[in-house]
Amino acid sequence: MSDPRPVGVFDSGVGGLTVLRELQRQLPHESTIYFADLAHFPYGPRYQAEVRQFALDIIRFLQKLDVKLVVIACNTATAAALNTAREVFDIPIIGVITPGAQAAVEATRNRRVGVISTEGTMHSGEYLHAIREANPTIGVLPKAAPDLVDLVESGKAQSPEAEAALRHALKDIIEYQADTLILGCTHYPLLRPLISKITGDRMTIVDSAETTAQKTGRVLDRNGLGSSDAETPIHQIYVTGSPERFTEVARVLFGEDLPPIRSVPVELVGQPRGREGAA
C-alpha cells in the first residue's frame, strides 16, 4: 500500500534545506513540502515560548496541506517545540536533535563530544540530555556560535568572517580534545569545508541531516506511509517574508532543480489555534 502524500519539512531559513536534500537523496520517491519562516528569522536568539508558537503554527499550516509526517529541520525549534507538538498533533513529528546525538554517541571513541549551536539550542540543554540518555558516561561541551546563521543566510559560508567566528566557537572544543563534533544547527553543514580546515582530522563531524533522513524512512516504512517506487514526487517550497536571498543560497544546494517558491503572508500561517490533532 502506498501513501503519496508529501513529507513536510520546516526551518527558519535555508538551513533545513540540508535536511531536505538528504531526505530527497535517501527517499527519492517521496514528495516534500519545505517551509521557511523567513519573516521570523532567526530563531536562535528568540525566547523558547515564541519559537514554540511559530513551530506549532507552521505544523498546523502543513497539516492543512495534508502532509503525512513533519520533520522539524531546525535544532532551535526542535528543542523548543518537539515535545509539545507531539502532544498537540496526531501526525508523526521528527526532530533533528536525537538522531544527531545518537550518531555522536556511536562515533566518539574518547567519550568527549563538542556541540556548536545557536544560543537557543545551547540554553535548552537538549543535546546534553539526549547524549547522556544514550550514554551517561560521555562528556559534552556545548558552545554557541550565534553569528554563523546570519553568515550562511547571507551567502558568506566560506568567508573570512565565517572562519573567524568558527575559530572562536571551536577553540574551547579543540582544547577539550573532543573527538566528535555535532553541528547543532542545520545551517552549519554549509560550513563544513571551513570546519574541516580548522579541525583537520582531529574530529568526526556529525550533522543530523543523514540520520534524520534515515529515521524518517524508518518511521514511514514502519507505519505503512511510504510512497511506492511508481510515484513521481512533487516538491514544493513555501516561505514567509521575502524569498530573494533565500533563493540565492538555496540554488547553491539544489541548482536549477529548485522548485518554485511560493510566498505566504505570515498572518495566514498563525491561525486558527487549538488542538488540531483531534480534527
Tell me the per-residue pLDDT of 230-266, one tens digit each, with 9 for 90 and over: 778 999 999 998 888 788 778 876 666 778 899 999 8
Quote the pTM value: 0.88
- Predicted local confidence at residue 275, as pLDDT: 37
Distances (CA, A) of 274 to 40, 54, 81, 259, 279: 21, 14, 15, 31, 10
Does 166 participate in catalysis according to the annotation? no
Catalytic member of 185, 190, 203, 250? 185
Mean pLDDT, range 28-49, rounded to an integer: 94
Model pLDDT, residue 218:
96
Q: Is the pLDDT of residue 215 over 60?
A: yes
pLDDT of the residue at 256: 63
pLDDT for residue 35 is more than 70: yes
Domains along the chain with CATH numbers: 7-95+210-278 (3.40.50.1860), 97-208 (3.40.50.1860)
Active-site pick, 19, 55, 71, 74: 74
Per-residue pLDDT for 271 more than 80?
Answer: no
pLDDT in tens, 102-118: 999 999 999 999 999 98
The verdict on whether 229 is a catalytic residue reads: no
In whole angstroms, what is the distance from residue 197 CA to residue 201 CA? Answer: 9
